[in-house]
Structure 1
Amino acid sequence: MATGKAFTPLTLGPLGLRNRFVKSGANEGMYRRGLPTKALVRHHREIAAGGAAMTTMAYCAVAPEGRTFADQLFIRPEALAPLRALTDAVHGEGAAISAQITHGGAFSFLKPTDGRRPGSASGGFNPTGALHGVPLKRALDPSELPVLADTFADGARLAREAGFDAVEIHMGHGYLLSQFLSPGENKRRDDFGGSLENRARFPRMVLQRVLDAVGKEMAVGCKIGVFEGYRGGGLARDAAGLARMLEADGAHFLVLTGGMNVQSPWWIFGSPMPVSSMKREDPSFIGRRALDILRLMQPKDLAFRELYFHDHSIQVRAATTLPLLYLGGVTSMAGVDQVLGEGFDAVVLARALLHDPELVNKFAAGTATRSGCTACNECVATMHTPLGTHCVLRPLPDPAENQAIAGT
């Protein structure tokens, strides 16, 4: 039986965890009509039963227009009963569950229903929208920002009502809050643009509203980028400065990530995107041509290496005393021990647990020391299939499970 820091309890604000392993919020593709499916419940129950201390339900949009695709969950009263089925299942296995709350801003595959351009930090050409007939985005007016911040607080309240133990505010990967934080995206000249302090003003407003709403009952964390990976994008020093601000604001923990959905998606995974497989799953001519461009953009010499965000994340560790959850290529027990020994408080895994939900228990029992995940990223191409996101090295999921659980 393994011992050491990895298997000791961890406290995040008002929440206690049984060990230091957390499942990352990675898009599951297991929603129908904006509601959870039985497949989603099974997915997270298996990870909880496999030993993880907390699992994270990915991309819970705080408003219908905050979704990035049509079937995606947006949190609302109708979703509470099926979400309660999910949280009860995870709690039944002795684990906690976090809801990743977010808003896509201009990063969306949907046309706005109100006829307006999608809102973002800055206006202009919108690469994602251009693929779906919405080529332009608009700069959000300062008067709209408090209203949007309140939608995050409302989403957190609903998550608490559904039985979640934590909320993770997504401030990375090119979604709305990241569109404000990224120096390459935010070109504003008002109080919400320019310096890091100004670019962080709206995300910090969101954090404060969420803390005020649920911070005494739930752990409240933020997912931030330590390296955006494109010319003009944010670097570790930006993340370190942001971490200090979020600590001062009262955040309970930070999840460290990197890469951007449009400019550098390969950095999210630390390895090349499976462009050929993604093209097979995209029926549109424009989408396939965009993937051809992606193939040309991604570095030719990129190859997976364990702990690929380590050098960036260690700079954030030096800047704050907040609990930091390390994410980025943790594939072995040696890697876990390394980052925990360097002062990180937990490790966050996605592909490794998709490949083997039992991995944490195997680490604990000493029957495995390394994940069998090959970082092929073929799971990314399965995200929008009828089966939902799955590891291609495992047996296929049951398609009958990917039907929405009825709401109330």
Structure 2
Amino acid sequence: MSNSSVDVSVFQPLRIGPLTLRNRFIKAATNEGAARNGIPTGQSLRLHERIAAGGAGMTTLAYCAVSADGRTLPDQVVLDRNSLPHLRALTQAVHREGAAAAAQITHGGCFTFLPPSGSALPLSASGGFNKVGIMSGMLCKQAMTEADLAQVSGEFVQGARLAREAGFDAVELHMGHGYLLSQFISPLYNKRRDGYGGSLENRMRFPLRVLRQVLDAVGNELAVVCKYSVTDGVRGGNQAEDGAAIARLFEAEGAHLLVLSAGMNVESITTMFGSSFPKENRVSTGKPVIDAVVALKSLLEPQVRFRELYLLEHSRKVRAAVRMPLAYLGGVKSLESIEHLMAQGFDAVALGRVLLAEPDYVNKLRSGACRDSICTACNRCVAMMYTPGGTSCVLGEPGDAQLNAVGAASL
């Protein structure tokens, strides 16, 4: 196949805020299982280095908690001084390959399997019964006070500043999937009766406050990206029309790029991944709580068959609502789909499972070596993040358990 058949527009540079990407391909953040004691491991460095060498314009380090209490699981990156040299080693490796590096910064709120250190209950938009806590024993959550809001927004700012110091080119504020900022945005979680609850505009007040403070702190030097759920994917939650209205608020506040995701970790994970987690595609993680959650979800979730571009109908509504740069995410695994997205007016293509299966997929497209990814959307990479080697595709080599036991700076 000649590379003359490739739509060259996807290989053109893209400007997002102060950052120019070499092309329109972004490695989406996918939890990696590649952090130990709050620092990224050598396996994490190698993963992002390979993706950068494989041609992506930017690669995103997933789930960097803005505080120790912001983690959902023990082995996640914490943005603090201890992690700084290891984060810097990772960004330097990515930069040597010519790509940009983004840090996804976030806080889990009540979506956590860890008891909070500073209080008896995990924080959330509203208090009361905690659905996630059924599996962790934390059956209640507490509504954030004004002091809590100030504390956490300050932690996002400090996290963004540390990401800048570590050499990242962008920060991605995770505002989807049922994590803390999403808990404010979604009516599934936000039952407040004050100025932070009720209408969509009120529910957006705290997330927009975080965005504004991060923009003020680093927006002249780093691209500030927002990833959010265009639809919660369940009755009673935000629908795509709400997702379009949310995008308009992000645009008005000055976000540089939106990554359009969907679904919630607890209520609608098939909306997020576009397909079910069949029993034959599950792996044992060795962690009984996680295995139980995966098994229970498989029983309760409706069976959904994968189809390419499964979020396109929702994302089109956002594209029609705003003029700002948008990255489409959801079921992209062929050149035909990529070209269709560019023709639809999306500015970038975010790839998750595909780049786990083939880190060099972008280079293969550019050279004309292939059109379609080998990824089958089996979702086993999701469970693989709990194995000793961290996230990997079952069609290739597993992650290196030895590399995954040492800090990135040791390489």
Task: Tell me if TM exceeds 0.5.
Answer: yes
> What is the aligned-residue identity percentage?
53
Counterpart secondary structure, 1:127: coil
Conserved in 2, the CA contact under 8 Å of 1:35 and 1:404?
A: no
Alignment equivalent of 1:152, drawn from 147, 156, 165: 156
TM-score using structure 2 length: 0.96
Whether 2:298 is the aligned partner of 1:295: answer yes
Distance in 2 of aligned mates of 1:106 and 1:10: 36
Distance in 2 of aligned mates of 1:88 and 1:258: 31
Q: CA deviation at 1:79?
A: 0.9
Alignment equivalent of 1:361, drawn from 360, 363, 370: 363
Distance in 2 of aligned mates of 1:105 and 1:390: 27
The equivalences for 1:137-148 within 5 A come to 137-148=141-152
Q: CA deviation at 1:374?
A: 0.4
- 2:205 matched residue in structure 1: 201
Alignment equivalent of 2:248, drawn from 244, 248, 258: 244
Letter in 1 for 2:153: A
Q: CA deviation at 1:395?
A: 1.7
Whether 2:348 is the aligned partner of 1:346: answer yes
Whether 2:284 is the aligned partner of 1:280: answer yes
Whether 2:102 is the aligned partner of 1:98: answer yes
Counterpart secondary structure, 2:83: helix
Whether 2:13 is the aligned partner of 1:9: answer yes
- 1:271 matched residue in structure 2: 275
Whether 2:130 is the aligned partner of 1:126: answer yes
Conserved in 2, the CA contact under 8 Å of 1:277 and 1:381?
A: no
The equivalences for 1:44-59 within 5 A come to 44-59=48-63
Letter in 2 for 1:328: G
Conserved in 1, the CA contact under 8 Å of 2:19 and 2:222?
A: yes
Pair 1:298–1:401, CA change in 2 (3 A)? same
Distance in 1 of aligned mates of 2:141 and 2:340: 43
Counterpart secondary structure, 1:304: coil
Conserved in 2, the CA contact under 8 Å of 1:20 and 1:53?
A: yes
- 2:336 matched residue in structure 1: 334
Conserved in 1, the CA contact under 8 Å of 2:35 and 2:44?
A: yes
Distance in 2 of aligned mates of 1:135 and 1:275: 28
Pair 1:359–1:407, CA change in 2 (3 A)? closer
Q: CA deviation at 1:114?
A: 2.9
- 1:173 matched residue in structure 2: 177
Render the CA deviation track for 1:45-89: whole Å, top value 9, x for unaligned: 000000000000000000000001111111001111111100000
Distance in 1 of aligned mates of 2:219 and 2:139: 38
Conserved in 1, the CA contact under 8 Å of 2:281 and 2:378?
A: no
Conserved in 2, the CA contact under 8 Å of 1:225 and 1:259?
A: yes
- 2:193 matched residue in structure 1: 189
Distance in 2 of aligned mates of 1:328 and 1:290: 23
Q: CA deviation at 1:184?
A: 1.4
Letter in 2 for 1:295: S
- 1:228 matched residue in structure 2: 232
Query: Which of 346-355 and 141-150 deviates more?
Result: 141-150
Query: Which of 265-274 and 190-199 deviates more?
Result: 265-274
- 2:406 matched residue in structure 1: 404
Conserved in 1, the CA contact under 8 Å of 2:43 and 2:408?
A: no
Render the CA deviation track for 1:146-173: whole Å, top value 9, x for unaligned: 2211110110000000000000000000
Letter in 1 for 2:302: P
Distance in 2 of aligned mates of 1:93 and 1:312: 34
Letter in 1 for 2:374: G
Counterpart secondary structure, 2:132: helix
Render the CA deviation track for 1:269-328: whole Å, top value 9, x for unaligned: 1011245665722543x655544431222113x100000000000000001111000000
Pair 1:46–1:405, CA change in 2 (3 A)? same
Counterpart secondary structure, 1:256: strand
Whether 2:76 is the aligned partner of 1:35: answer no
Conserved in 1, the CA contact under 8 Å of 2:89 and 2:409?
A: no
Letter in 2 for 1:112: P
Conserved in 2, the CA contact under 8 Å of 1:275 and 1:291?
A: no
The number of residue pairs the alignment matches comes to: 406
Distance in 2 of aligned mates of 1:21 and 1:336: 10
- 2:86 matched residue in structure 1: 82
Distance in 2 of aligned mates of 1:91 and 1:42: 13
Q: CA deviation at 1:219?
A: 0.4
Pair 1:288–1:167, CA change in 2 (3 A)? closer
Letter in 2 for 1:55: T
Q: For structure 2, list consecutive stretches of 5 or more residues without a partner in the other structure.
A: none
Letter in 1 for 2:221: E
